[in-house]
Amino acid sequence: MTLTDRPPADLVEAPVLERVLHEALRRGGDFAEIFAEDRSSSSIFLDDRKVEELSSGRDRGAGIRVIVGETTGFAHTADLSEKGLLSAAQAAAAVAREGGGGVRKTALLKQASEHQQVRTPPSTVPKSAKVDLLLRADDASRSTGGAIVQVSAGYGDSRRRILIANSDGLLADDDRVRTRLFVTCVASGDGGLQTGSHSIAYTLGYEVFDEHPVEEIADQAARRAITKLQARPAPSGVLPVVLKSGSGGILFHEACGHGLEADHILKDSSAYTGRVGQVVASRGVTLVDDGTLGPNWGSLVIDDEGRPTQRNVLIRDGVLTDYMWDYLRARKEGRTSSGNGRRQSYQDLPMVRMTNTFLLAGEEDPDEIVSQTPNGVYVAQLGGGQVNTATGDFVFGMTEAYLIENGRITEPLRNANLIGNGPDVLSKIDAIGNDFDMSPGTCGKDGQSVSVGCGQPTLRVTGITIGGTAGV
């Protein structure tokens, strides 16, 4: 039986939800919302064939939000009984507004939606099989050559059942399953110790490994580590940069995407405030956020406010067309949510967040983009970075990069930084490939972390500062 064969399991009965919402609004609130969840997860970490960590957990609870004018009250509880929910509703209402009057009743209407398709729920797979999966990753990594001296691998899965009800009459639920695996290898040689890693993460069950064999993931991580043994110091200065498909999506997520979230716009803390209808990128650049994009890491049937996710075109052919919206900011502006209200757990308030954010493919051949670049840097994998949302200034690590010399990818480079500005980079894209790829990520904002997808085709930026140690 798949997860979708089961009827939705209500965490709280509808009559109880209605009574709790009534209590939340009893003193004259404008809006009330209940977000209940039941989350289970498991993870295993293997280091040099030894299980260093094997854990599982479960968390249940509800968060209740009450809005009165410009004030939001919020309370959460691990007690999903009617008594516990009523107590939380009273606390949230007290924060939002003391005193007042008026009574508002809510009749809930169930929202129809299709749940995620899962063939093999990870909870049905024995822990021993998951450990064997990691041992296979270790074997595959070491089989690439004797240079690999250390292998670590991690597996994780989660199931999150959520239920959302609000005073607008919305009643929605979802059942989300995610599975991920990463492999990190250390290679030893004349160049010292070098590290390579690779990971996959999808909104799928254990069947993900049918399409993405663990041996391929391990081989990619090992080869990255071995290749870097021959790496030379990266150049420094402003150079053309070609980003491999899928590798640079995190750059546009961080340096551009956050600046297009409506909370930053309404606080006037974004470089894109007030620029709808203006040219903000090179012609041909189209930036999209799409929570419906297949089984990617940031995909959702509904957001954490119960709104269906959708395809939102943010920049079309270089022109800024819209921002991303959650319920609260959209309500304030007299418009509808774009399905971008997300929260880490029932203990957190929702905020505007990305789902899968990516640049659309163009028409150019990726190999020709490289061959038409006399000299520069080819970035095959970006690491973490820092971004100033108000200005778009960023610093990102390059964890796999190569020199481009006379239109050819040549020597690997040691880890270095890309330093630039998001809006500036968008205006300097002069070639967009016809390939496309996505990569998974974890996005942090205001202390909350959520799963996201990032993507782009192979593309060229005419100039980004490389923070290397060798002169240009």
Q: How do the pLDDT tens digits run along the chain, 472 residues long?
A: 233 333 344 699 999 999 999 999 998 889 999 999 999 999 999 999 999 999 999 999 999 999 998 899 999 999 999 999 999 999 999 988 753 434 444 555 666 666 778 999 999 999 999 999 999 999 999 999 899 999 999 999 999 999 999 999 999 999 999 999 999 999 999 878 999 999 999 999 999 999 999 999 999 999 999 999 999 999 999 999 999 999 888 889 988 999 999 999 999 999 999 999 999 999 999 999 999 999 999 999 999 999 999 999 999 999 999 999 999 899 989 999 999 999 999 999 999 999 999 999 999 999 999 999 999 999 999 988 888 888 889 999 999 999 999 999 999 999 899 999 999 999 999 999 999 999 999 999 999 999 999 999 999 999 999 997 765 4
pLDDT at position 388 is: 87
Which string of b and e fits 196-209 if b means at least 16 CB within 10 Å? bbbbbbbbbbbbbb
DSSP for 22-69, please give it: HHHHTT--SEEEEEEEEEEEEEEEEETTEEEEEEEEEEEEEEEEEEET
Coil, helix or strand at residue 215? helix
Query: Which of 324, 314, 322, 326 has its CA nearest to residue 287?
Result: 314
pLDDT at position 189 is: 92
CA distances for 284 relative to 203, 350, 373, 434, angstroms: 30, 33, 19, 12
Taking the CB of residue 242, how many other CB atoms lie within 10 A of it?
26
**In angstroms, rounded to a whole number, what is the distance separating the alpha carbons of residues 261 and 114?**
27
**In angstroms, rounded to a whole number, what is the distance separating the alpha carbons of residues 202 and 179?**
6
> Do 345 and 74 touch, CB atoms closer than 8 A?
no
pLDDT at position 386 is: 83
pLDDT at position 144 is: 94
Residue whose tokens read 């160049």: 191
> Do 422 and 391 touch, CB atoms closer than 8 A?
no
Residue whose tokens read 């009984």: 81
pLDDT at position 113 is: 62
pLDDT at position 111 is: 67
**In angstroms, rounded to a whole number, what is the distance separating the alpha carbons of residues 272 and 217?**
38
pLDDT at position 57 is: 96
pLDDT at position 317 is: 97
pLDDT at position 83 is: 96
> Do 432 and 251 touch, CB atoms closer than 8 A?
no
What are phi and psi for residue 267, nearest 5 degrees?
Answer: -90, 0
pLDDT at position 102 is: 40
**In angstroms, rounded to a whole number, what is the distance separating the alpha carbons of residues 17 and 82?**
8
pLDDT at position 110 is: 65
**In angstroms, rounded to a whole number, what is the distance separating the alpha carbons of residues 126 and 329?**
44
Coil, helix or strand at residue 429? strand
pTM of the model: 0.92
- Structural domains of the chain, ranges and CATH numbers in brackets: 3-230 (3.30.2290.10), 237-467 (no CATH)
Find residue 59's DSSP bridge partners. 39
Cα dihedral 321/326/331/332 (nearest 10): -70
Residues 6+ apart with CB under 8 A from 211: none
Coil, helix or strand at residue 371? helix
Coil, helix or strand at residue 141? helix
> Do 321 and 417 touch, CB atoms closer than 8 A?
no
**In angstroms, rounded to a whole number, what is the distance separating the alpha carbons of residues 391 and 271?**
5
